[in-house]
Amino acid sequence: MTNARNHRINGDRLWDSLMEMAKIGPGIAGGNNRQTLTDFDAQGRALFQRWCEAEGLTMAVDKMGTMFMRREGTDPSLPPVCIGSHLDTQPTGGKYDGILGVLAGLEVVRSLNELGLKTRHPIEVINWTNEEGARFAPAMMASGVFAGMQSLEQAYATADRDGKTVESELKRIGWMGEEKVGDRPMKAFFELHIEQGPILETEGVDIGIVTHGQGLIWLEITLTGKESHTGTTPMPMRRNAGLGMARVTELVEQVALSHAPNAVGAIGHAEVYPCSRNIIPGRTVFTCDLRSPDLAILEDMEAKVIAGATEIAKTIGLEIETKRVGGFDPVTFDETCVGQLRAAAERLGYSHKNLVSGAGHDACWVNRVVPTAMVMCPCVDGLSHNEAEEIHPEWARAGTDVLFHAVLESAEVMS
Ligand code: HGY
Ligand code: MN
Ligand code: MN
């Protein structure tokens, strides 16, 4: 390790960039609504591209629109050390979920340039398309195609509620690249992300070293009953798909609690048809979000929800259809990369603890094809996927410092 031990990133510059990016795709309550492949997403991409090119980076874009912003190393034949996350947000998202990880990568490059440091390996800062999966399921879509978890054709054909497809929207905003997805060599991938949970803040710890990520299943259920008048249809004659959804919502809660504390479950996406005040819902479509760090528990939860929902449908006289629309097994991150992050936190004097990520991240998929690890910083009240999501500047600075030093190590900084 060279004397780079004293180098620090510029936390004020990072914070200014976060606030600048937050102006694009404003939400209605102080957060962001910069959903993937919208015009706001395109504006955010263009700003990120301008900032990177001002630092001398060159851009490559693959067929899923993922952006690879490259800083050459002294030996261009070596695979790059990559840093990244996502600039797309939830419809009622915060200013930091994903964005911190991308702009922290840019800050690492800005600091390298400012300090005049060279690295043997190239460095690439990545903005993965459609991490959130809110507009187009599943989540972590582009990194999933990159890791071979779904085909480009499947991703391209995915449509949003208005019937617009990933392919048509990528073309429309002008971000469909030429490069085959998954072709790019990488030495390692590091992602900085807010914790999106309460542990670090509650325990007063600066840094989370993410050793594992919990697994996820998105189980979409369609219940079909019969639309009829809410006033005239006698109760015993009703086939109420809305009632079915309500009972499955409670079922998911009970199944998750039966595996406490290593399981969580909820239904966040729900569509009621025809959604008229005086028509009994004939059809409901909703997604059960089931998670656990333990694969056996995850699969048991799915089985219990399917069995229970089938029973509920039978009792009410509904037809039921279930299908997985997303998911990934629990993740164990790469020991070498995890060690580099931990050593960086120690060298920099930041308190740190091991964490299991509760949320899914692009790193969870990339880890299947590239040595990968994550570092986390606290967030206020552990709140995320809410426009009130907040972090403190010093948390962003600490996380980016740790990322910076792990990258200096992995990319072999020259003295
Ligand atoms: O769903 C997740 O865990 C991530 O925020 N996309
Ligand atoms: Mn995220
Ligand atoms: Mn998110």
3-class SS of residue 238: coil
Return the H-helix or E-strand segment holding 199: helix 199-203
CA 211 to CA 224: how far, in whole Å? 42
For a mutational test of ligand 1's pocket, the pick from 92, 219, 328, 385, i.e. the residue with the most ligand atoms closer than 8 A to its C-beta, is 385
| Alpha carbon 270 to chain centroid, angstroms | 20
Sign (positive or negative) of CA dihedral 184, 190, 192, 197: positive
CA 175 to CA 209: how far, in whole Å? 33
For ligand 1, atom 1: residue with the closest CA: 360
Q: Is the pTM of this model over 0.75?
A: yes
Residue pLDDT tens, the chain, 415 long? 445 667 999 999 999 999 999 999 999 999 999 999 999 999 999 999 999 999 999 999 999 999 999 999 999 899 999 999 999 999 999 999 999 999 999 999 999 999 999 999 999 999 999 999 999 999 999 999 999 999 999 999 999 999 999 999 999 999 999 999 998 999 999 999 999 999 999 999 999 999 999 999 999 999 999 999 999 999 999 999 999 999 999 999 999 999 999 999 999 999 999 999 999 999 999 999 999 999 999 999 999 999 999 999 999 999 999 999 999 999 999 999 999 999 999 999 999 999 999 999 999 999 999 999 999 999 999 999 999 999 999 999 999 999 999 999 999 999 6
3-class SS of residue 69: strand
pLDDT value of residue 1: 45
CA 124 to CA 55: how far, in whole Å? 12
pLDDT value of residue 194: 98
Sign (positive or negative) of CA dihedral 52, 134, 24, 386: negative
Q: Which two tokens stand for residue 34?
A: 């910069």
Q: Ligand 1 within 6 A of 366 CB?
A: no
> Which residues lie below 8 Å from residue 305, measured CB to CB, with a gap of 6+?
219, 248, 251, 252, 255, 265, 288, 290
Q: Cα angle at 219 between 32 and 189, to 5 degrees?
A: 55
Torsion on CA atoms 302, 306, 312, 315, rounded to nearest 10:
-160
> Which residues lie below 8 Å from residue 355, measured CB to CB, with a gap of 6+?
195, 199, 200, 208, 209, 210, 211, 376
pLDDT value of residue 316: 98
CA 341 to CA 128: how far, in whole Å? 22
For a mutational test of ligand 1's pocket, the pick from 89, 132, 193, 218, i.e. the residue with the most ligand atoms closer than 8 A to its C-beta, is 132
CA–centroid distance, 56 to ligand 2, in Å, is 27
Q: Ligand 1 within 6 A of 359 CB?
A: yes
Q: Ligand 1 within 6 A of 195 CB?
A: no
Using the structure block, give the residue that is written with the tokens 């670090």.
200
pLDDT value of residue 2: 46
Q: Ligand 1 within 6 A of 201 CB?
A: no
pLDDT value of residue 201: 98
What is the DSSP-derived secondary structure letter of residue 35? Answer: -
Q: Ligand 1 within 6 A of 132 CB?
A: yes
For residues 190 and 402, the answer to whether their CB atoms sit within 8 Å is no
Taking ligand 2, which is a single-atom ion, which protein residues have CB atoms under 5 Å away? 97-98
Q: Ligand 1 within 6 A of 122 CB?
A: no
Instruction: Give φ, ψ of 230 to 5 degrees.
Output: -70, -15
Q: Ligand 1 within 6 A of 69 CB?
A: no
What is the residue-wise DSSP string for 85-146? E-----TTB-SSTTHHHHHHHHHHHHHHHHHT--BSS-EEEEE-S--S-SSSSSSSHHHHHH
Q: Which ligand is nearest to the CA of 376?
A: 2
For residues 267 and 218, the answer to whether their CB atoms sit within 8 Å is no
Q: Which two tokens stand for residue 333?
A: 């991150």
Q: Name the β-bridge partners of 331.
A: 213
pLDDT value of residue 3: 53
CA–centroid distance, 358 to ligand 1, in Å, is 9
CA 394 to CA 355: how far, in whole Å? 20
CA–centroid distance, 117 to ligand 1, in Å, is 35
